[in-house]
Structure 1
Amino acid sequence: MSVAFTKEDSAATASETLLPDRPISPHPNLVTEAGLKALQQQLRQAQDAYEAAQGIEDVDERRRQGALPLRDGRYFAARVRTAQVVPDPTSAENVAFGSTVTFRRDDGRVQTYRIVGEDEADPKAGMISFVSPVATILMGKAVGDVVTVSGQEIEIVAIK
C-alpha cells in the first residue's frame, strides 16, 4: 500500500470524525422540568453511543462511529449545565413560559401550543419555543387579546 493512499484514507476519516459543534442558541436556556429530563436522557444516550463505539476494534471505524455521539455529548452536556428550570405557571391569567395557549386565527383555524424551551420545541406535538415569533408576541397577553403575527390576527381563546 502506498503512503499516499494511506494519507487519503486518513484525511477522509479525519473529515468524517471532526464534526463541527452543534450551534448553541444565544438565548437563555429556559426549560420545563420535563425538558431538563429529556436533555439529561439525550446526554446519556450520546454517552452510551460513544462508549459503544469505543469497543470497535478498527480505529478508523471507531472514530467514525464515535464522532456523532461525541459531538452530541458536548452539546447536551452544555445544555444540561446551562439549563434554567422554569416552574409551571401558577396562574392562567396571562401567557407565560410553560403555558398552554389556544388561539383562533383570522382564517378560523384554532390552534393550541405549549410554550417551552428551544430544545423541547416540536410544533407537530403542540410545543413551540419561547423565542418563536408567535410565543414572543403571546407572552404576557390574556384571554380575549388580539395580536398580529406575520400579518395575521390571532385571538387568545384559552390559557392553561
Structure 2
Amino acid sequence: MSRAFVKEDGPDNEPLPDLPISPHPNYVSPRGLAALRDRLTALQAELARLRARADRLDRLPERAAERDIRYVEARLRSAILVEPTDTAPSEAAFSTRITVVDEDDAQHEFEIVGEDEADAALGRIAPQSPLARALIGARVGDVVEWRRPAGTVSLEIIAIDPLPC
C-alpha cells in the first residue's frame, strides 16, 4: 500500500482528554486502595490485548484505555491511606460503618469511603456527599438531618464500627 494512504497522525491518533480529577483529598480505605491497584492491572492487561489485535484500524479503544490508565495512576499517586482502627470509634468518620434508623424505623448501614470506592447501591458513600457530611462527627444516639432533593430525613445513629480490614 502506498504511504500516501496511511494516516500516521491526526485526530484519530491524538490521546483522549484526561478524565477530571476531584479537587478533594483522595482518602482511600485499604479495600479502596486494593481496588484501584486491581483496576490499574486490569486496564494495563486490556491495553496490551488491544495493542495485540491484528486489526488496529480503530484506535479509539486503545486511546480510551490509555486515558483510563492515566486517571487511575493519578488517583494512586494522590491516594491518602486511612487505616481503620481496631477499637470502636466514638464518632462517625472516614473508614467507619454507621448504622442508622430513619423516621419509618427502617435500619440502614452506610460506609464512609473514598470517592473511587463509593457505591450508593452498596451503602458506600464518599466523604463529600451530603449524607456523609451529615454523619461525620456524629455519635451514637445523635439524630442528624440529611438534606436531600426529595426532602430532609432525620436519622438516628445506633452504631458506629470500624470498617473491616
Q: Give me the TM-score of the superposition, normalised by structure 1.
A: 0.84
Question: What does 1:17-32 correspond to in 2, within 5 Å?
Answer: 18-32=15-29
Aligned to 1:39: 36
Deviation at 1:32, TM superposition (A): 0.5
> Equivalent residue of 2:57, what SS?
helix
1:7-46 alpha-carbon deviations (Å, 9 max, x no partner): 8xx76x45xx743322211100000011111001101111
Aligned to 2:63: 67
Measured in 2, the distance between the counterparts of 1:66 and 1:30 equals 29
2:158 is the counterpart of 1:149: no
Measured in 2, the distance between the counterparts of 1:141 and 1:30 equals 20
Measured in 2, the distance between the counterparts of 1:78 and 1:132 equals 22
Question: What does 1:64-143 correspond to in 2, within 5 Å?
Answer: 64-89=60-85, 90-143=87-140
Question: How large is the RMSD of aligned CA atoms in angstroms?
Answer: 2.0
Question: Which amino acid is the alignment partner of residue 158 of structure 2?
Answer: V
> Equivalent residue of 1:111, what SS?
strand
The number of aligned residues is 150
Gaps of 5+ in 1: none
Measured in 1, the distance between the counterparts of 2:56 and 2:62 equals 10
> Equivalent residue of 1:78, what SS?
helix
Report sequence identity in percent: 39
Q: Give me the TM-score of the superposition, normalised by structure 2.
A: 0.82
Do the aligned partners of 2:93 and 2:136 also contact (CA within 8 Å) in 1? Answer: yes
Question: Which amino acid is the alignment partner of residue 95 of structure 2?
Answer: G
2:55 is the counterpart of 1:54: no
Question: Which amino acid is the alignment partner of residue 146 of structure 2?
Answer: V
Question: Which amino acid is the alignment partner of residue 159 of structure 1?
Answer: I
Aligned to 2:160: 159
> Equivalent residue of 1:84, what SS?
strand
> Equivalent residue of 1:75, what SS?
helix
Gaps of 5+ in 2: none
